[in-house]
Amino acid sequence: LGIEHIPARSPQAKGRIERSYLTLQERLTVELRLAGASTCEEANAVLQRFIESYNQKFAVPPADPESAFRPIPFHLRLDHIFCWKEYRTLNPGYTLQYKGETYRVVPAKNAPDIPLRSVVEVHQLAGGNLSVAWRGYIYDLEPIATGSTKPTKTNTAPPAERSPKEKANATPPHRPAPDHPWRKSWASRRAYSATAGAKATIPVSETSKP
């Protein structure tokens, strides 16, 4: 707003205002007690009368009657200056998170697009409206519904629950044939192994020796 603060760093420079504070602290409580004010409304009425009488006794006309307040620059928006501000990072899809909700930045007319992953300033105005400020430009925010839709009811029966083993391996397990040796008893398997070993043994003739 262009307001410059000039502090008074000595009691001598603040003598007049300190005397005023002392008068108010000592006299105002007495005025309220004499008036019998016991509620906030009664105290405000007494305070209004006290201000008028106090100014008549102690007010001093200024040396320069012209107001020292300057007009507000046209490019300043007071509602975006006197508001709650927080910083957020712009995510893909022009979205950001604020107080547990997801919002999308609405492109503004005659304003540049905000690059992704840029840090923007979220403004929460006095009325509760939200907007985004970036490099002097103001963008509106619109909420994005994140609630999931309810599933529709159908007459079809739910699918049968699959076992954890079937879920881990989608392909059906291999089942051996009914005449497979694994399906026979241990004695039969030993006999089968002995027979197969005998068939696999080929005697070596004398003529085949080197």
pLDDT in tens, 36-76: 999 999 999 999 999 998 888 888 888 888 888 888 888 88
Q: With beta carbons less than 8 A apart as the criterion, state whether 35 and 42 touch.
A: yes
- What one-character DSSP code corresponds to residue 141? E
**What strands, in cross-sheet order, belong to the sheet with 130-134?**
84-89, 119-124, 130-134, 137-143, 101-106, 95-98
Closest C-alpha among 150, 161, 141 to residue 98: 141
Q: Are 132 and 120 in contact (CB under 8 A)?
A: yes
Spatial distance between the Cα atoms of 106 and 117, rounded to a whole number of angstroms: 16
Identify which of 129, 94, 128 has the alpha carbon closest to the alpha carbon of residue 111.
Answer: 94
Mean pLDDT of the region 94-102: 93
Rounded distance between C-alpha atoms, residue 54 and residue 41, angstroms: 20
| DSSP type of residue 68 | -
Tell me the pTM. 0.46
Mean pLDDT in residue range 80-90: 95
Which pLDDT does position 5 carry in this prediction? 84
The span from the CA of 142 to the CA of 140, in Å, is 7
Q: Where are the alpha helices (DSSP H) in the chain?
A: 15-35, 40-58, 164-168, 186-200
Distance CA 60, CA 38 (A): 32
